[in-house]
Amino acid sequence: MEALANCAVLNTTDSLKLSITNHLRFTLGAYIETASENDWYVATSLAVRDRVMERATQSRRQHRAQGVRRVHYLSLEYLMGRLLENNLRNSGIYEATKVALSEMGKDLDSLVQKEPDMGLGNGGLGRLAACFMDSLSTMDLPAIGYGIHYEFGLFRQEFVNGKQVEHPDAWMRDGSPWKIARPSYRQTVHLYGHTIQKFDEFGRPHHEWVETKCLLGLPWDIPIVGYDSNTVNVLRLWQAQADEDFNFKVFNEGSYIEALREKAIAETVSKVLYPNDATESGKELRLVQQYFFVACSLADIVRRFKTGYDLPWSEFPSKAAVQLNDTHPAVAIPELMRILVDEEKLEWSQAWEICQKTFSYTNHTLLPEALETWNAALFERVLPRHLQIIFEINKRFLEGDVEARWPGDGEKKRALSLIEETGGKKVRMAHLSVLGSHATNGVAALHTRLLCERLFPEFFELYPDRFLNLTNGVTFRRWLDVCNPQLSALITESIGSGWLKDSTKLIQLDRFADDSSFRERFHAIKRGHKVHLAKIIQDTCGVSVSPDAMFDVQIKRLHEYKRQHLNLLHIVSLYRKIIANPNFEMAPRVFIFGAKAAPGYYLAKNIIHAINAVASKVNHDPRVNGRLKVIYIPNYGVSIAERIIPAADLSEQISTAGKEASGTGNMKLALNGALTIGTLDGANVEILEEVGPENIFIFGLTVEEVTELYAKGYNPWDFYHASEDLRLSIDWLASDYFTGNQDEFKPFRDSLLSHGDPFLVMADYESYASCQAEVDKAYRDQPRWQKMAIHNTARMGKFSSDRTILEYAKNVWNLPQIGV
Ligand code: F55
């Protein structure tokens, strides 16, 4: 691999052996003969890290020397998963390391499993940030990711009697070989207090934020290794610490215990990730988390600007782009204004221009309950100066651009205001984000259209040029090369290397769909993964499944809009038909679920229980006779996804049209040769365009039909009465058959009937069930299915996050690609 030629000597088997044994002996103080598997994992990771750090330093030096613009990705979440295997494969030393270890009697593939997942995110948004970090390094773009060093990531899920129970995820209890503390870049953050107006020697007023509480932020750096590239960017995560000086006074007063209590409170700020993936908690600690990491990150960016260059502030945006991953870091906008106006004494209008040029914002949801707002009184208590700044931004906006465009129009002002006035004042973080940025993007074509038409119609009218679409993507390294090395090797053998870095080349695989010997090899790889997953299922769920059955997979957060319950109703219907007719013919299917529910989301938890209850009946009913299995794999996350995705035959993407912004699991599954059954929602629309209607199963209402149905008055009972199949399934599920208690799934049934079925499960059921019958037919024609699967893999080139990130670089950040 050419990119590594300059340090080839470090990457030989002998050199790796020496490094690993040195780390075992000198870093870990272990005897080679008795070192634990974990010691070997740590020593191997450190040996890789040494090689990577060299390149991280070089990248930083190069970026600084060239004075290039950098992107700073601000995200509350990074779902990184495991790093060792990814870093080995990306840096081209996987094989050498495997040999080095095996010569010392160790198996690399079992060592990599020792690594705990770095699960610092909820779902798609957090995993997208991780894919973007991989693509930024691979595409040689100068970038830093900023986030929070959570002590506890997303909770670990367990089932007790079929119900979800949450446990803390202590991912770094034993430390992590990948993170490096950077105490010299520690930052101080202020919170609470109040503001006072003061005057300078010319009688000009300014604001001071006083009597604040202080927190320290300690940065931890994680190197991000690109594939076949020498660029190593970093992910910098902030850990909250107590300010020792602040506590010193209390110590002196003899309140030792009191001082330590303060310290413990300070450290709660980076303690735990909030486990909600679609509703805002409105909790003070969450706001403090947001501001803490934003303030640390901006101070870090400003420090680099001030020490690295001697340029006027007007040049700040030419050195720094800042991307807001949803509204969660949007407090960065008033924070940069505070720095520029209060500390650097810039004029407001100049500061505002700098802000808008610096920031850009990605929206990830249209769901009204997920749009972040903060109670103004709470906001004022935590960040009094920032609320003042937001009011000032709003005043100038409403009296300026809005008044100029729609003179005297109070309705337009109410719609566009940064402050919602009904039911107590609230700060609308999405409006703040659009206004404080030069670009706002949606994450799939359909989503961006709805963003402009429905979520921000007035902003779109006022500033149409600020909106753009950037369809999501996923990194083909982790989601094909690492998780499916067999398929990766087959592709390289067939079309040559290069496709992992230039995904447009993947289309060359398309013609192999007609080659029966290729099809056999493709199928054998899929079957191998199914055998492997069957073993995992046996070990974790105690159920045996056949690798020759269709593996039908729905893996994503548990949410009503994603409609896992639509899937379940269809399963119950099949179960009923099988029992009613012992000769009922169908291709044997294993329905596989993986999903965590937010701990406070009562109905989602009821649905989980229902799936598990149906599973335990179906899996033990002899009448089913091998035709049906239902598996709920506990504790879904990145690493288990890497096992499930290569083994999937069918990918369930069945959200209510208009609700799923993009989806990225849909892309990973299709890339690994699963066929999609899906609605015309999110990126499914674009997947359909790429694979063609003959290679996908589309059903259900379109966005326009959904709107029409709501408008004319939706009554789920109409569908209940019209379909005997649906009626019998729901009533059976809500009976005492599955748990012995007929009220157990009443919340589930009520949500679909008496509570109005907000996500149109009933309305889409018939269309879904008949589409599933088409799937069954297609699967029974194996040559046809294999061809479709190969077309899916071959036609996924568009959905590489490299393509997405190059679009951001060109259309939003104006970033150059810098080879190191
Ligand atoms: C996390 C915290 C809060 Cl407060 C709200 C939402 C989330 C979250 O995890 N959202 C999320 O994952 N959104 C998803 O983003 C993906 C990447 O753009 C999309 O593909 C997906 O459609 C969207 O639901």
Residue 785 lies in a domain: yes
Mutational pocket test of ligand 1: of 364, 471, 557, 805, the residue with most ligand atoms within 8 Å of the beta carbon? 364
Burial 212-242 (b: 16+ CB within 10 A, else e): bbbbbbbbbbbbbbbbbbbbbbbbbbbbbbb
Cα(598) to ligand 1 centroid in Å equals 13
Residue 417 lies in a domain: no
Q: How far apart are CA 747 and CA 33, in angstroms?
A: 57
Cα(567) to ligand 1 centroid in Å equals 21
Q: How far apart are CA 530 and CA 527, in angstroms?
A: 5
| Placement of tokens 């018939």 in the chain | 766
| Placement of tokens 């408008």 in the chain | 711
- What is the span of the domain harbouring residue 795? 476-702+724-733+760-804
Residue 537 lies in a domain: yes
Cα(457) to ligand 1 centroid in Å equals 22
Helix (H, G, I), strand (E, B) or coil at 152: strand
Q: How far apart are CA 795 and CA 671, in angstroms?
A: 8
Residue 548 lies in a domain: yes
How many domains does one find in the chain? 1
pLDDT at 564: 98
Residue 766 lies in a domain: yes
Amino acid, res. 226: G
Residue 230 lies in a domain: no
**Ramachandran angles phi, psi of 439, nearest 5°:** -145, 140
Cα(276) to ligand 1 centroid in Å equals 10
Residue 544 lies in a domain: yes
Query: Residue 286 class from Cβ within 10 Å (0-12 exposed, 13-18 middle, 19+ buried)?
Result: middle
Residue 781 lies in a domain: yes
Question: Could you give the dihedral angle defined by the CA atoms of residues 712, 717, 723 and 729, in that order, rounded to the nearest 10 degrees?
Answer: 140
Query: Residue 616 class from Cβ within 10 Å (0-12 exposed, 13-18 middle, 19+ buried)?
Result: middle
Can you tell me which atom of ligand 1 is nearest the CA of 122? 9
pLDDT at 54: 85
Render pLDDT for 270-313 as a digit per residue (tens, 0 to 9).
999 999 988 777 799 999 999 999 999 999 999 999 999 899 99
Q: Catalytic residue positions?
A: 364, 556-557, 562, 664, 668
| H helices present in 117-226, as ranges | 124-138
The DSSP H or E segment spanning 156 is strand 156-160
pLDDT at 776: 98
Residues 6+ apart with CB under 8 A from 745: 606, 609, 610, 613, 733, 734, 738, 739
Cα(563) to ligand 1 centroid in Å equals 16
Question: How far, in Å, are 205, 335, 418 from residue 425 at the CA level?
Answer: 27, 20, 10
Nearest CA to ligand 1 atom 2: 277
Helix (H, G, I), strand (E, B) or coil at 86: helix
Query: Is the CB of residue 631 less than 8 Å from the CB of residue 745?
Result: no
Residues 6+ apart with CB under 8 A from 447: 363, 366, 469, 661, 662, 682
Q: How far apart are CA 491 and CA 269, in angstroms?
A: 46
Query: Is the CB of residue 311 less than 8 Å from the CB of residue 414?
Result: no
Cα(557) to ligand 1 centroid in Å equals 10
pLDDT at 10: 81
Nearest 5°: CA angle at 689, between 684 and 694?
95
Can you tell me which atom of ligand 1 is nearest the CA of 280? 4
Q: How far apart are CA 767 and CA 372, in angstroms?
A: 34
Instruction: Give me the long-range contacts of 287-291 (CB less than 8 A, separation at least 24).
Output: 287/331, 287/374, 287/378, 287/379, 287/382, 287/383, 288/191, 288/382, 289/76, 289/148, 290/76, 290/328, 290/329, 290/331, 291/189, 291/191, 291/331, 291/335, 291/382, 291/383, 291/386
Query: Strands 675-678, 697-698: parallel, antiparallel or unpaired by DSSP?
Result: parallel
pTM over 0.80: yes
pLDDT at 248: 56
pLDDT at 3: 44
DSSP states of 509-526: GGGGGG-HHHHHHHHHHH
Nearest CA to ligand 1 atom 11: 125
Query: Residue 750 class from Cβ within 10 Å (0-12 exposed, 13-18 middle, 19+ buried)?
Result: middle
Query: Which residue ranges have their beta carbon within 6 Å of ligand 1?
Result: 122-126, 128, 276-278, 280, 364-365, 370, 443, 472, 660-664, 682
Low-confidence ranges of the chain (pLDDT < 70): 1-7, 245-252
Can you tell me which atom of ligand 1 is nearest the CA of 472? 18
Mutational pocket test of ligand 1: of 365, 367, 660, 808, the residue with most ligand atoms within 8 Å of the beta carbon? 365
Nearest CA to ligand 1 atom 9: 277
Q: Give me the CATH number covering residue 535.
A: 3.40.50.2000
Residues 6+ apart with CB under 8 A from 422: none
